[in-house]
A and B are shown apart, each in its own frame.
Chain A
Amino acid sequence: QKEVEQNSGPLSVPEGAIASLNCTYSDRGSQSFFWYRQYSGKSPELIMSIYSNGDKEDGRFTAQLNKASQYVSLLIRDSQPSDSATYLCAVEAGNTPLVFGKGTRLSVIA
């Protein structure tokens, strides 16, 4: 059974701070990694995708991948109250459905 683990939170950070969200996965053959943001009552929307070891930056967001440690993270710089949401980590190995973690709830305090 492929598993994706996330701390459920809530993770509370002050406005302007860096939020760090973490995810571990069990399938060493996993190749594709995604971070989704989900506001309450809404469907998930893609924030970042990462496929190779290292960092990938997009605006205020940075995804980090370490396949040896089976670990992927998302950093949000200059956190804003509008970033308050649940963040879902999703992992895929080959042509198989994405496996989602349970999500980490982030609260940015103004």
Chain B
Amino acid sequence: DGGITQSPKYLFRKEGQNVTLSCEQNLNHDAMYWYRQDPGQGLRLIYYSQIVNDFQKGDIAEGYSVSREKKESFPLTVTSAQKNPTAFYLCATRGGYTEAFFGQGTRLTVV
């Protein structure tokens, strides 16, 4: 069953804690992306990777980190430096100059 799997669906973070959001794909797509969505803000690009072992900052990378050790995986770590992390996080992939396919999203809440 091909697709993009994000986990967990819901995540709660305590103040000062780092948390990692998982994104796995079996579509054999080279490019993977992380977007953040806040109410009324649309999708804002955090990080993206177009090839294994390489990634670039997006528009709002501060307080986040990523790795791309395997083609299938692109985890996002929300560090304690991100002061307002409560949001809906979306992982997406693209195979060439085509549309982006999205995972189901992770809703992160600070408690």
A residues sitting closer than 8 Å to B (CB atoms) are 8, 31-32, 34, 42-46, 49, 88, 90, 92, 95, 97-103
Contact = CB atoms under 8 A, between A and B. Distances in A.
A43 B102 contact: yes
A22 to B, nearest CB: 15
Is the interface on chain B under 10, 10 to 19, 20 to 34, or 35 or more residues? 20 to 34
A106 to B, nearest CB: 15
Nearest to B4: A43
Given A8-B40, A43-B102, A102-B42, A97 B97 contact: no
A43 to B, nearest CB: 4
B4 to A, nearest CB: 9
24 contacts: A8-B40, A34-B100, A42-B104, A42-B105, A43-B90, A43-B103, A43-B104, A43-B105, A44-B43, A44-B90, A45-B102, A46-B99, A46-B100, A46-B101, A49-B99, A88-B42, A88-B43, A95-B50, A95-B97, A97-B31, A97-B33, A102-B40, A102-B41, A102-B42
Nearest to A102: B42
B8 interface: no
Interface of B: 31, 33, 35, 40-43, 45, 48, 50, 58, 90, 94, 97-105
Nearest to B41: A102
B58 A97 contact: yes
Contacts of A43: 90, 102-105
